[in-house]
């Protein structure tokens, strides 16, 4: 048993290093586009070689075999027998993608997408065959070839080997097997919405399979135990369907079967041959791998050992000495430091009750303790910080591919890549950023002709910038495209019933409408975006991180999306407020200002809501004592303080009795021992040892909205 655990540990290292290697390959390949120099090619080759060796050592033969083909191609480029062409680079980039998926599948102990790999292997083999370079393993090259010729046509789609479902009624269509992973729902992705999108493509029949749902006692409500078989009728492009599942392709398993329509029976035989041929190809390939072992077996462990040694050397030497630490250890350390901060502030309070003589000494000691603790805390938090370049790194590739696909000329500018943020925040901000950049490319930037006609330079610019500002990290996605079309947005919002026909909205409010669920003004839904399932997920993901996202735009000139995130998830800069005998914490990030409210500025509107006139805008008033069901000092607005907070682009006034101190609080969740509470983001322990609840501002606003007029948004 412990041997298994050891193997798991070793495998883990292999996976981590493989992913790193694949990243190196990708960024180097992108560079290769511009300057095909020896050193870059050698670097890519070495990375592929390591992965091949490591995979073979651990018995991940499919990975190893596939990488072998890639390595052969690179070897030819390295020793000059093959020129570096854009097509070859594109194929290599795709191979890196395929490899990445393979390694992920192996890591998750799930089946590899054999089809995709076989296709790529085919293409590599064909490319290799065209220029007889130093073909290292002729048998390996020959094996995929019979598969290519045996297949009736290189169909990038699995033709349904079974009979077409009745629902398709003999017409063309798809059967999609959609199996979300357990945690897919936690990424704010809702299958229902995806099915609704599919329905727009054609008639849809949804068959749910609930056999994996556990008994109620073991059921975790936010885990997805369902899988679905979706029958979609219509002559629909596969890409259109894939686009619907784009957001979740990392969190689910999907397989597609196409039915060509009437005459499905005759289509079957040649089609059935393809999967068989692929297997036949896999068999000889495996056979050659098996027959090769004697020479390989000696070479591979050596390669494996060399591969293991090389990356270690690389990471040891190049990096000014870095060390891999498990995140559990770091988290534990952060917890301990959090406790230390609380203990230290508790002690500070006790100093208030001592005799003058002792007091001086005690005070000195405590001041020192405070200083030490703060420094320790800052240092420990630093451990979890990583530069945002980890997230920005995928964009050169993305922009490169996407601009080619859309026929637009784009220059990507990155700044502030060294800005550091917490690892978890980094991981969770990646997807939203990808979506925003894709949007900017697809909807923001105009085609070259349109740009020239508008007097702009032909090449558009997308800027990704990150910097620290006041205890937060700001990330900006800027484009110099066409900007948001105010009239279009307003019209679409009215069509969707989000806004009353006669409501007057400011530019800001109109811009924020694009964050509404399902909203899209795209006339044509492209492969890339336009389906309207994106922006609201982006905003929700950012909110879950405790951040805010704003958009500003000028028609004709471009748009800027500004994301503000706290530097860490564990600690919050909070404003303590008092309502009656209860203390609550409101995140400083959300607070705009605090004012003493005057009664004459309060107005009531039909439905029971109250609006407060703040300079030139009206903001709804949220009475915290009502929301939380506690007794306040006074119910009169002029006796309390109005804390103006901003959530989802709009402002609200939260009525409290008093403001207390501002302090850093350690966020603890209620969900471990209790459960989630609407309007409450978590809890913290104050200096006096008592528990204070942390107000979830966006959540509170939602509860507040729902308590009036059935949740209609208030557009003042």
Partner 1 sequence: MSTNISDKRLEAAEDAGQYLTFQLGREEYAVDILRVQEIKGWERATRIPHAPDYVLGVINLRGAIVPIIELRKRFALESIDFGPTTVVIVVKVASPRGERTVGMVVDAVCEVYNVAHADVKAPPEVGSSVDTAFVKGLATVESKMLILLDIDRLINASILDGIGAAA
Scanning the structure block, which residue is given the tokens 């403001």? 659
Nearest residue to 342 (alpha-carbon basis) of 373, 375, 368, 365: 373
With beta carbons less than 8 A apart as the criterion, state whether 665 and 585 touch.
Answer: yes
In this chain, which of 174, 256, 259, 628 binds partner 1, going by CB under 8 A? Answer: 628
Residue 106 buriedness (CB in 10 A; 0-12 / 13-18 / 19+): buried
In this chain, which of 21, 98, 481, 679 binds partner 1, going by CB under 8 A? Answer: 679
Provide CB contacts within 8 A for 299, sequence distance 6+: none
How far, CA to CA in Å, does 40 sit from each of 33, 74, 277, 414, 567? 11, 11, 37, 22, 35
Provide CB contacts within 8 A for 557, sequence distance 6+: 480, 483
Per-residue x/- marks for partner 1, 302-331, CB under 8 A?
------------------------------
Stretch that binds partner 1, among 20-28, 201-209, 332-340, 359-367 (CB under 8 A): 332-340
Stretch that binds partner 1, among 156-164, 599-607, 624-632, 707-715 (CB under 8 A): 624-632
In this chain, which of 128, 140, 683, 697 binds partner 1, going by CB under 8 A? Answer: 683
Stretch that binds partner 1, among 108-116, 243-251, 267-275, 679-687 (CB under 8 A): 679-687
- Please spell the DSSP secondary structure of 477-521, one letter per residue: EEE-S----HHHHHHHHHHTTSS-TT----HHHHHHGGGSTT---
- Please spell the DSSP secondary structure of 65-115, one letter per residue: HHHHHHHHHHHHHHTTSS---HHHHHHHHHHHHHHHHHHHHHHTT----HH
| DSSP letter, residue 137 | -
**By the rule CB under 8 A, 673 interacts with partner 1:** yes
Dihedral over alpha carbons 139, 141, 143, 145 (to 10 degrees): -140
In this chain, which of 525, 614, 677, 716 binds partner 1, going by CB under 8 A? Answer: 677
Stretch that binds partner 1, among 9-17, 166-174, 266-274, 621-629 (CB under 8 A): 621-629
**By the rule CB under 8 A, 669 interacts with partner 1:** yes
User: 3-state DSSP call for residue 614?
Assistant: strand
Closest approach, Cβ 680 to partner 1, in A, equals 7
The residue (of 315 and 343) whose beta carbon lies closer to partner 1 is: 343
The residue (of 13 and 380) whose beta carbon lies closer to partner 1 is: 380
| Other residues' Cβ atoms within 10 Å of the Cβ of residue 474 | 17
The 3 state secondary structure assigned to 683-704 is EEECCCCCEEEEECHHHHHHHH
Closest approach, Cβ 684 to partner 1, in A, equals 9
> What gap in Å lies between CA 342 and CA 360, rounded to an integer?
22
The residue (of 601 and 668) whose beta carbon lies closer to partner 1 is: 668
The residue (of 182 and 468) whose beta carbon lies closer to partner 1 is: 182
| Other residues' Cβ atoms within 10 Å of the Cβ of residue 334 | 21
**By the rule CB under 8 A, 627 interacts with partner 1:** yes
In this chain, which of 411, 689, 712, 713 binds partner 1, going by CB under 8 A? Answer: 689
Closest approach, Cβ 399 to partner 1, in A, equals 41
Per-residue x/- marks for partner 1, 339-358, CB under 8 A?
x--x----------------
Closest approach, Cβ 219 to partner 1, in A, equals 7
Residue 550 buriedness (CB in 10 A; 0-12 / 13-18 / 19+): middle
In this chain, which of 298, 617, 678, 713 binds partner 1, going by CB under 8 A? Answer: 678
Closest approach, Cβ 704 to partner 1, in A, equals 13
Residue 596 buriedness (CB in 10 A; 0-12 / 13-18 / 19+): exposed
In this chain, which of 104, 423, 496, 668 binds partner 1, going by CB under 8 A? Answer: 668
**By the rule CB under 8 A, 360 interacts with partner 1:** no
> What gap in Å lies between CA 561 and CA 477, rounded to an integer?
5
**By the rule CB under 8 A, 218 interacts with partner 1:** yes
The residue (of 178 and 628) whose beta carbon lies closer to partner 1 is: 628
Sign of the C-alpha dihedral, residues 122, 127, 128, 131? Answer: positive
**By the rule CB under 8 A, 629 interacts with partner 1:** yes
**By the rule CB under 8 A, 671 interacts with partner 1:** yes
Angle at 603 between CA 602 and CA 609, to 5 degrees: 110
The residue (of 47 and 579) whose beta carbon lies closer to partner 1 is: 579
**By the rule CB under 8 A, 219 interacts with partner 1:** yes
How many chain residues touch partner 1 (CB under 8 A)?
A: 32
**By the rule CB under 8 A, 685 interacts with partner 1:** yes
**By the rule CB under 8 A, 212 interacts with partner 1:** no
> What gap in Å lies between CA 463 and CA 475, rounded to an integer?
10
The residue (of 516 and 680) whose beta carbon lies closer to partner 1 is: 680
Cα 378 versus chain centre, distance: 27
Given strand 650-656, what is the order of strands in its sheet?
591-595, 641-647, 650-656, 617-623, 610-614, 602-604
Closest approach, Cβ 688 to partner 1, in A, equals 10
Closest approach, Cβ 676 to partner 1, in A, equals 9
How far, CA to CA in Å, does 679 sit from each of 328, 626, 693, 697? 29, 12, 10, 7
Closest approach, Cβ 328 to partner 1, in A, equals 15
**By the rule CB under 8 A, 675 interacts with partner 1:** yes
How far, CA to CA in Å, does 19 sit from each of 13, 182, 535? 10, 23, 29
Closest approach, Cβ 47 to partner 1, in A, equals 40
> What gap in Å lies between CA 228 and CA 210, rounded to an integer?
9
The residue (of 542 and 694) whose beta carbon lies closer to partner 1 is: 694
Stretch that binds partner 1, among 23-31, 296-304, 338-346, 644-652 (CB under 8 A): 338-346
Closest approach, Cβ 377 to partner 1, in A, equals 15
The 3 state secondary structure assigned to 314-333 is HHHHHCCCCCCCCHHHHHHH
In this chain, which of 324, 615, 672, 710 binds partner 1, going by CB under 8 A? Answer: 672
Identify residues 540-599 at the interface with partner 1 (CB under 8 A): 582
Stretch that binds partner 1, among 54-62, 509-517, 668-676, 708-716 (CB under 8 A): 668-676
Closest approach, Cβ 685 to partner 1, in A, equals 5
> What gap in Å lies between CA 606 and CA 58, rounded to an integer?
70
Closest approach, Cβ 164 to partner 1, in A, equals 41
The residue (of 531 and 578) whose beta carbon lies closer to partner 1 is: 578
The residue (of 163 and 703) whose beta carbon lies closer to partner 1 is: 703
> What gap in Å lies between CA 308 and CA 11, rounded to an integer?
12
**By the rule CB under 8 A, 692 interacts with partner 1:** yes
- Tell me which residues touch partner 1 (CB under 8 A): 217-220, 335, 338-339, 342, 582, 627-630, 668-675, 677-680, 683, 685, 689-693
């Amino acid at each position: 048993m412990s041997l298994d655990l050891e193997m798991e540990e070793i495998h883990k290292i292999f996976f981590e290093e493989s992913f790193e290697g694949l990243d190196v390959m990708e960024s180097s390949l992108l560079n290769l586009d511009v300057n095909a120099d020896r050193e870059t090619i050698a670097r890519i080759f070495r990375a592929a070689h390591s992965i091949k060796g490591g995979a073979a050592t651990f018995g991940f033969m499919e990975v190893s075999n596939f990488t072998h083909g890639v390595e052969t191609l690179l070897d030819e480029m390295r020793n000059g027998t093959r020129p570096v062409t854009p097509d070859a680079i594109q194929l290599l980039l795709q191979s890196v993608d395929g490899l990445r998926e393979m390694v992920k599948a192996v890591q998750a102990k799930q089946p590899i997408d054999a089809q995709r790999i076989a296709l790529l292997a085919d293409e590599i083999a064909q490319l290799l065959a065209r220029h007889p370079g130093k073909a290292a393993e002729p048998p390996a090259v020959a094996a995929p070839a019979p598969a290519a010729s045996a297949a009736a046509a290189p169909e990038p789609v699995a033709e349904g080997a079974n009979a077409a479902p009745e629902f398709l009624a003999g017409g063309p269509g798809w059967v999609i097997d959609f199996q979300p992973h357990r945690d897919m729902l936690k990424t704010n992705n809702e299958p229902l919405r995806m099915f609704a999108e599919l329905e727009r493509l054609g008639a849809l029949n949804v068959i749910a399979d609930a056999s994996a749902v556990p008994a109620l006692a073991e059921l975790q409500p936010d885990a997805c135990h369902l899988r679905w078989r979706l029958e979609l009728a219509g002559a629909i492009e596969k890409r259109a369907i894939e686009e619907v599942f784009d957001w979740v392709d990392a969190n689910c398993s999907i397989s597609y079967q196409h039915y060509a329509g009437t005459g499905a029976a005759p289509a079957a035989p040649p089609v059935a041959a393809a999967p068989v041929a692929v297997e036949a190809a896999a068999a000889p390939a495996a056979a050659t791998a098996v027959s090769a072992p004697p020479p390989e077996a000696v070479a591979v462990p050596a390669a494996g050992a060399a591969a293991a040694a090389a990356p270690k050397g690389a990471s040891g030497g190049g990096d000014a000495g870095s060390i891999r630490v498990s995140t559990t250890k770091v988290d534990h350390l952060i917890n301990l430091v959090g406790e230390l901060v609380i203990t230290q502030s508790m002690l500070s309070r006790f100093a208030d009750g001592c005799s003058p003589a002792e007091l001086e000494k005690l005070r000195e000691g405590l001041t020192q303790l405070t200083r030490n603790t703060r420094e320790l805390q800052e240092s420990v938090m630093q451990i979890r910080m990583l530069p945002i370049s980890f997230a920005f790194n995928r964009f050169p590739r993305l922009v490169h591919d996407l601009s080619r696909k859309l026929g637009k000329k784009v220059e990507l500018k990155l700044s502030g890549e060294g800005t550091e943020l917490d690892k978890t925040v980094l991981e969770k901000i990646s997807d939203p950023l990808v979506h925003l950049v894709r949007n900017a490319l697809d909807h923001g930037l105009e085609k070259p002709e349109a740009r020239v006609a508008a007097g702009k330079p032909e090449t558009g610019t997308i800027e990704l910038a990150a910097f620290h500002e006041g205890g937060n990290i700001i990330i900006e996605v800027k484009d110099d495209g066409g900007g948001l079309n105010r009239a279009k947005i307003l019209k679409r919002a009215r069509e969707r019933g989000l806004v009353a026909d006669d409501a007057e909205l400011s530019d800001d409010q109109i811009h924020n409408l694009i964050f509404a669920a399902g909203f899209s003004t795209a006339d044509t839904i492209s492969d890339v975006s336009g389906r309207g399932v994106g922006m609201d997920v982006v905003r929700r993901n950012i909110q879950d991180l405790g951040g805010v996202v704003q958009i500003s735009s000028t028609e004709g000139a471009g748009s800027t999306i500004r994301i503000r995130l706290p530097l860490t998830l564990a600690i919050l800069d909070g404003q303590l407020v008092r309502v009656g005998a209860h203390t609550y914490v409101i995140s400083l990030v959300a607070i705009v200002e605090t004012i003493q409210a005057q009664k004459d500025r309060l107005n009531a509107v039909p439905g029971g809501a109250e609006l407060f006139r703040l300079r030139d805008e009206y903001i709804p008033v949220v009475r915290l004592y009502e929301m939380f069901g506690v007794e306040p000092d006074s119910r009169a607005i002029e006796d309390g303080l109005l804390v103006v907070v901003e959530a989802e682009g709009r402002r609200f006034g939260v009525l409290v009795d008093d403001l207390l101190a501002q302090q850093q609080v350690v966020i603890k969740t209620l969900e471990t021992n209790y459960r989630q509470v609407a309007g409450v983001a978590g809890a913290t322990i104050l200096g006096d040892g008592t528990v204070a609840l942390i107000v979830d501002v966006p959540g509170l606003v939602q509860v507040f909205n729902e308590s009036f007029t059935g949740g209609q948004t208030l557009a003042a």
